[in-house]
Amino acid sequence: MSVLDLNLEKYEEPVVVESGEYLLTLSALQLKTSSDGNKYFSAAFDVTERPEAASVFHIFMLPDDKHDAKVVNAWGLNLRKFFQSFDIDYKTLKLDKDDKAIGIRGKKGWAFLAIEEDPEYGTRNVVKRIIVPKR
Residue spans of the domains in the chain: they are 24-109
Closest residue by Cα to residue 108 from 41, 26, 42, 20 = 26
The model's pLDDT over 62-90, given as tens digits with 9 standing for 90+, comes to 999 888 999 999 999 999 999 999 999 99
pLDDT at 9: 87
Cα separation, 119 vs 100, whole angstroms? 28
**pLDDT at position 7:** 85
pLDDT score of 62? 95
The ranges of the chain with pLDDT < 50 are none
